[in-house]
Amino acid sequence: MARHNGDLYRMFQSFYHEHVQMNRDETKRNANVVRDVVEKILEYVNGLDSRFQKEPEQVGSFHSFTKVSGADEFDYSILFNTGMEHSWSDLNQPALYAVDAKHRIVKSAVPLRILPMKYTLKTHNRGPNSMSENGCLVPLTFKRHFRQLVLKAVDYLTKNSKINQTVIVKPLSDSPAVTITVKQRGRDELNVDLAPMINTRLPFKDEFGWPNHRAQWPAIEKNQQLKHIKVNLVTSDRLYWKLSFAICERELLVDIDRDGSGTCRRRSLRIMKRLRELFWCSDQDDRDGLTSYHLKNLLFYECERLPNDYQIFGKSFLFVIFIFKGEPV
């Protein structure tokens, strides 16, 4: 049995080094380019509207060390301060607005429906940069405002030779983020998602069932850290807000193998993501079928189910290799 496990472990490590691990020099170079561009954009955005913090939260797969294929996609959450102390009572207040045929936000005599996992947000937002309608902050208006600030920042930085790269701000999509593309001469294009996030810092609710207080993973100290981070809001669609746990998820992943006991939780996730790209969903859009988000939550579930290091060490890579061997490589 020990010899069989050793063979599987060698397969695990071989596949990881050949198909998952990214080029270190390229990764460092791309990360430095993106960091410089993002810092300059957000500093300018903050000067135009100081409610947007200029220090972003580094989220997503690259910043949680679970990126695969190449360092060409980067995610940031940009916290927006409303000037209010928020509570759950500020959510799902009657929202008297709608979107018309020309995609404009207009007043409505009929409030929006209350939907599961989608929210409206009461606010005191006023003034020339108000993004509210009838006392509620409107996601579409909010995202449009942020994109306009990013456009102004890119225009200023380009005209004044503050950045050396060509930066393109993409049209708005269903994603919560405003996406920019950084074009490098003779190198890969870099896509950067800047997701404006309402800094509500709402406490966790028992009905979430997470963090699972009965689970032995994560540790008590990590659970306390997650409770301190709390819950924020991002644009889910044009009219509703969505709860965001992106910062909490990053904190679960960045030091998931920190104990140095030889666990391979993060590597297991990265291998599954690479298998998804190569075999499971190679001909699908990223949003169709099995997603990286599903795999990340599968890892969290397995860590709760198998909280001890010796369990994860053995069963995590055995699970991945079992799936891998079933594929027509």
Cα separation, 233 vs 124, whole angstroms: 16
The CA angle 45-47-52, to the nearest 5 degrees, is: 55
pLDDT of residue 287: 57
Q: What pLDDT digit, counting tens, does each position of 96-143 carry?
A: 999 999 999 999 999 999 999 999 999 887 777 889 998 999 999 999
Tokens representing 277 are: 């790209």
Task: Please list the ranges in the chain whose pLDDT falls under 70.
Answer: 1-6, 8, 259-262, 282-288, 309-329
pLDDT of residue 260: 53
pLDDT of residue 302: 84
Torsion, Cα of 84, 87, 92, 96 (10° steps): -20
pLDDT of residue 308: 73
- In sequence order, the β-bridge partners of residue 241 are 119, 235
Angle between helix axes 309-325 and 2-15 (nearest 10 degrees) is 70
Angle between helix axes 309-325 and 292-305 (nearest 10 degrees) is 140
| Cβ neighbours, 10 Å, residue 21 | 14
8 Å CB contact between 237 and 174: yes
8 Å CB contact between 34 and 74: yes
Report DSSP letters for 50-109, one per residue: TTB-SS-EEEHHHHTT---S-S-EEEEEEEE--SS---GGGBT----EEE-TTS-EEE-S
- What letter represents residue 149's amino acid? L
Q: What pLDDT digit, counting tens, does each position of 6-32 carry?
A: 676 777 778 888 888 898 999 999 999
